[in-house]
Amino acid sequence: MNRHSREIDPDEILIDSSNLPHYDTARLEGRLEKPIRRGTLFAVLGVFLVLAGLFLLQAANLQLLNGASYLAQSQNNLLRPVPIFASRGAIFDRNGVPLAWNAPSAAVASQATSTTNAVSGFVEDAVPERKYADIPGISHLLGYVQYPSKDNNGFYYQNDFEGIAGVEKYYNDLLTGVNGSRLVEVDARGKVVSENIVKPPQAGAELDLSIDSRVQSALFDSIKAIATQYGFGGGAGSIIDVRTGELIAITSYPEYSSQVMSDKTDQAAIKATLNNPNNPFLDRAIDGLYTPGSIVKPYVAMGVLTEHVIDPNKIVYTTGSISIPNPYDPKVFNVFRDWKDLGPLDIRHAIAMSSDAYFYIVGGGYKDQPGLGVDNIDKYLAMFGFGEAIPDSFVSGPSGLVSSPAWKEQVFHEPWYIGDTYHTVIGQYGTQVTPVQVVRAVAAMANEGTLLIPTVLKGDGPHIERIINLPKANFDIVHQGMRLGVEQGTSVALNVPYVQAAGKSGTAELGVSKANVNSWITGFWPYNNPHYAFAVTMEHGSVHNLIGAAAVMRRTMDWMSVNTPEYFK
């Protein structure tokens, strides 16, 4: 028989040409069976051999070539490094009242009921929670923090708290501690079986601020009340020790919540803050730029007296305005108005009554009376810190601007006119200041020439930027004018029975229509031996308002006389 032939069974010969009736197809009845081809079997065997070969090659790679490396990784996986987060330094006010501190995290609080990742009291990822005192007016001062952050794999790419604003940001390096580390042994299921501290954490430094949180809150509440009642867009205020430069209060309205911004859990509150048109994130006391108006007159007066522009006792007869010929048409006169016809004035009463006309005359010159001149106006304002940034300080902010011919040429490409000098001498035109610049200028006026760098740390002063070497007699004359302003002039709201204060008010007109104003009050107390200076500005109120910054300071001083009388002794 040929080797390619095979025996034929009888049923293959005798089977009917059609299937038997009622065959069961599920049992493959009615089908002819065909053997699998040998080529198919060899192809399957070949695929199997290839896969087996690849498997053996990979096994050799893992076991023989890289076995030691993978073994080391496996052993390292048994000991997982876990950070031990250091406590951030607490912040206190000058009287020891806690303003910011740390609380146990939710993980620590729940460790008694959670044993999955806990051994001997250890809780993984126990990040302390930052807590802030519920005291109005401190959020811009304190700022807020960003917590340590994990990636999607559960590993920390930021291991430290990060200060985002305020004291938390400026003193971040002091407040931030040094994290520790811990090795945790885990089994194959990720369960902690043992742990050991490799490096203990070091807590951040505590800070004692110069701020009195009681006074800070009272000043903020006064600003808020006046702004709400009389339609101001915002406000800022500060009180400084004129001997040390320590800020007793520095606040801005409106404000955000340090707690909400740190926690980031109340999305509705965060959204409302972000959408507030009055910009609660702007620290108006430090970063706000405002037209100062008449609060610059005491510093201009120092220049007038020092340069002997006019005898301090000479009477100038003001009539409510001055008029000068238009340089392009002498038949047309430009009129510069005073806020009121104040009649005859010497320099003390001109300060007290805030006479624009008097300062037009002695500042820019008029008829036969020479003026201080714009260059000297800039010079004396600069002496007291206007137009320059405060150096190396928590309160360093924008430098501001004092109007000058060079500035006008650069911005407007126009020459300087005498009318520009008249506007500059009363704190209008392009002049811009920050409230904290103003309060340190007032402090330098009060302490007779020591320009301090303000600080918010208790016991950190004085830091003296420079000594303004001007005659004491000139300081005395300006002080007398500011005291007269409280007794009978534009600062009479501060004429209180419990302390003798000196003050200078200001109303800065805004825009072409002059429908809105910034309201200012500045000054110091006690008059005969100044200890504290203050500055308050109320932002963008109606020109028709008769109530403004002076009312804020009066409310605050009245509150202090009852609750913190030590500041008036």
Cis bond upstream, residue 526 (ω within 30): yes
Distance of CA 509 to the CA centre of its chain: 27
In the predicted model, what is the mean pLDDT of residues 215-236? 96
Most confident stretch, 115-124, 260-269, 476-485? 476-485
The pLDDT of residue 195 is: 66
- Of 53-62, 185-194, 262-271, 359-368, least confident by mean pLDDT is 185-194
pLDDT class for 37, splitting at 50, 70, 90?
Answer: confident
Alpha-carbon gap, residue 461 to 336, rounded angstroms: 44
Alpha-carbon gap, residue 336 to 423, rounded angstroms: 9
CB 147 within 8 A of CB 140: no
Alpha-carbon gap, residue 3 to 293, rounded angstroms: 121
How far is CA 251 from each of CA 138, 220, 283, 329, 569, rounded to the nearest angstrom? 7, 6, 8, 49, 24
- Of 18-27, 255-264, 339-348, 520-529, least confident by mean pLDDT is 18-27
pLDDT class for 100, splitting at 50, 70, 90?
Answer: very high
In the predicted model, what is the mean pLDDT of residues 306-325? 94
The pLDDT of residue 120 is: 33
pLDDT class for 119, splitting at 50, 70, 90?
Answer: very low
Alpha-carbon gap, residue 99 to 90, rounded angstroms: 8
The pLDDT of residue 512 is: 72
- Of 184-198, 224-238, 379-393, least confident by mean pLDDT is 184-198
The dihedrals phi and psi of 333, each to the nearest 5 degrees, come to -110, 135
Q: For residue 365, give both structure tokens.
A: 């010159």
Alpha-carbon gap, residue 144 to 142, rounded angstroms: 6
Q: For residue 205, give both structure tokens.
A: 């430094």
CA proximity to 130, closest of 249, 264, 254, 251: 264
pLDDT class for 107, splitting at 50, 70, 90?
Answer: low
- pLDDT tens, position by position, 415-464: 999 999 999 999 999 999 999 999 999 999 999 999 999 999 999 989 99
- Of 112-126, 431-445, 504-518, least confident by mean pLDDT is 112-126
Say which residues have a Cβ less than 8 Å from residue 459's Cβ, sequence separation at least 6: 208, 210
Angle between helices 374-383 and 418-425 (to 10 degrees): 30
Alpha-carbon gap, residue 490 to 503, rounded angstroms: 9
- Of 17-31, 44-58, 195-209, 367-381, least confident by mean pLDDT is 17-31
Alpha-carbon gap, residue 84 to 240, rounded angstroms: 40
The radius of gyration of the chain's CA atoms, rounded to the nearest angstrom, is 40
- Of 142-151, 312-321, 471-480, least confident by mean pLDDT is 142-151
The pLDDT of residue 75 is: 55
- pLDDT tens, position by position, 126-154: 788 899 999 999 999 999 998 877 666 55
Alpha-carbon gap, residue 489 to 555, rounded angstroms: 19
Q: Where in the chain is the domain with CATH 3.90.1310.10?
A: 80-208
The pLDDT of residue 116 is: 37
In the predicted model, what is the mean pLDDT of residues 227-244? 96
Q: For residue 34, give both structure tokens.
A: 């065909």
CB 447 within 8 A of CB 453: no
The dihedrals phi and psi of 246, each to the nearest 5 degrees, come to -75, 130
CB 250 within 8 A of CB 283: no
DSSP letter (8 states) at residue 246: B
- What CATH number has the domain spanning 213-568? 3.40.710.10
Please give the CATH topology (third level) of the domain spanning 80-208. Penicillin-binding protein 2a (Domain 2) (3.90.1310)
In the predicted model, what is the mean pLDDT of residues 164-173? 95
- pLDDT tens, position by position, 331-354: 788 899 999 999 999 999 999 999
Residue 32 has pLDDT above 60, yes or no: no
Alpha-carbon gap, residue 339 to 337, rounded angstroms: 7
Mean pLDDT taken over the chain: 86
SS3 content of the chain, % helix, strand, coil (to 5): 35, 25, 40
Q: Where in the chain is the domain with CATH 3.40.710.10?
A: 213-568
Which secondary structure element, helix H or strand E, spans residue 541, and what is its range? Answer: strand 532-542
CA proximity to 532, closest of 558, 557, 549: 557
Alpha-carbon gap, residue 540 to 433, rounded angstroms: 15
CA proximity to 215, closest of 233, 181, 240: 240
Alpha-carbon gap, residue 454 to 436, rounded angstroms: 8
DSSP letter (8 states) at residue 494: G
